Amino acid sequence: DTEVTQTPKHLVMGMTNKKSLKCEQHMGHRAMYWYKQKAKKPPELMFVYSYEKLSINESVPSRFSPECPNSSLLNLHLHALQPEDSALYLCASSQGGGELAGNEQFFGPGTRLTVL
């Protein structure tokens, strides 16, 4: 199984809502990533998890809260978002550390988020 799945595919939420994005992979990858992508722009790294521990937080506002419950799952909890947070949120995974560090990342199809 070489697939990264993300749910939901689309999400519309109000600024007072709380919602969560989910990401799952069963490739045994130990590094997982959240990216945010605006239209016609490259993906921007938000968070990196390595061996279920937060490794990088790219100064993301606290209204985005990541969670890695186990090595296969990655969540992104959303609360009190702003309309400018509307974007495609991509999850990715890779094999992880050592000599494999920095190798290919496998991306999910993304969640299209709209904040009203």
Partner 1 sequence: SQQGEEDPQALSIQEGENATMNCSYKTSINNLQWYRQNSGRGLVHLILIRSNEREKHSGRLRVTLDTSKKSSSLLITASRAADTASYFCATTRRYSDRGSTLGRLYFGRGTQLTVWP
Q: Which is nearer to partner 1, 35 or 64 (CB)?
A: 35
Q: What is the closest distance, in whole angstroms, from the C-beta atom of residue 25 to partner 1 in the complex? A: 12
Binding mask 33-62 for partner 1 (x = CB under 8 A): -------xxxx-x--x-xx-x-xx------
Binding status of residue 88 toward partner 1 by CB under 8 A: yes
Binding status of residue 7 toward partner 1 by CB under 8 A: no
Residue 55 C-beta-side C-alpha neighbours within 13 Å: 13
Q: Which is nearer to partner 1, 73 or 88 (CB)?
A: 88
Q: What is the DSSP string of 40-57?
A: TS--EEEEEEETTEEEEE
C-alpha to C-alpha distances, 109 to 27, 31, 69, nearest whole angstrom: 16, 18, 21
